Chains A and B, each alone.
Chain A
Amino acid sequence: SQKIEQNSEALNIQEGKTATLTCNYTNYSPAYLQWYRQDPGRGPVFLLLIRENEKEKRKERLKVTFDTTLKQSLFHITASQPADSATYLCALDFGGFKTIFGAGTRLFVKA
């Protein structure tokens, strides 16, 4: 069956550390993979996109990797801050209109 899995348990880390979130999928072949941030009661906000032929993408303190063999993406936030506390969603993008979202991982960064 087709699945997207993100850590269902919340991730708690100390300020200044690197947060690493995981997105695994099975029986899909996305062309792109996206990461979004969602704050409580708000809509998701796009953060980064990585293409299937890219291994790594960076934007400021964010880094995303995409391994199409392992069917896995890792999302890293370096030098994390309390303001980074939110739910992070991965999304499989097949091009066109079809995008499938994971359930998200809740991140708490403690001061």
Chain B
Amino acid sequence: ETGVTQTPRHLVMGMTNKKSLKCEQHLGHNAMYWYKQSAKKPLELMFVYNFKEQTENNSVPSRFSPECPNSSHLFLHLHTLQPEDSALYLCASSQVKDYRDNEQFFGPGTRLTVL
């Protein structure tokens, strides 16, 4: 496989469920990202990992918990979500060095619906 893959592509969960989203990048990049995209809104950056270390957490509620076991895999653990958390969750990766440009490669996303 090439590029950035995400599973599952679609997820429906109740507010009391616990689930996880998975992202894998096959590009040898050193940074991985989680974004939330709600209808007609800009992508909202949630978390950034650089070489497995979290470098950014944009005031995301604790019901979202990221995990980066290595530089190729990224997880987003979900628990006690709210209906307003329903959105497209996008994973991206990039090769970042010396504060140069940051072209990002996105996965297809997970469409999450919280009932």
Question: Chain A: residues with CB nearer than 8 A to chain B?
Answer: 4, 8, 31-32, 34, 41-46, 49, 51, 89, 93, 95-104
Separation of A41 and B88 alpha carbons in the complex (Å): 8
Partner of A93, one of B33, B56, B102: B102
Residues in A neighbouring B50, C-beta threshold 8 A: 97
Instruction: Answer whether A41 and B109 are a contact pair too, CB < 8 Å, given A46-B103, A49-B101.
Output: yes
For chain B residues 75-106, which have a beta carbon within 8 Å of chain A?
A: 88, 90, 92, 96, 99-106
A93-B101, A97-B31, A97-B50 known; A45+B42 contact, CB < 8 A: no
A43–B107 CB distance below 8 A? yes
The residues of B that contact A93 with a CB separation of less than 8 Å are 101-102
Distance between B106 CB and nearest chain A CB, rounded to angstroms = 3
Contact sample, A vs B, 8 pairs, CB 8 Å cutoff: A31-B99, A41-B109, A43-B92, A46-B105, A89-B43, A95-B100, A97-B102, A101-B42
Contact B106 A43 (CB under 8 A): yes
Do A95 and B42 form a contact, CB below 8 Å, given A41-B111, A43-B106, A43-B109?
Answer: no
Residues of B within 8 A of A100 (CB): 42, 45
- Kindly report which residue of chain A lies nearest to residue B101, judged by CB atoms: A32
Tell me whether B100 and A34 are in contact (CB under 8 A): no
On chain A, the residues within 8 Å of B102 by CB distance are 32, 93, 95-99
Contact yes or no, A42 B103, CB < 8 A: no
Inter-chain contact A97/B4, CB cutoff 8 Å: no
With A43-B106, A43-B107 in contact, is A96–B41 under 8 Å at CB? no
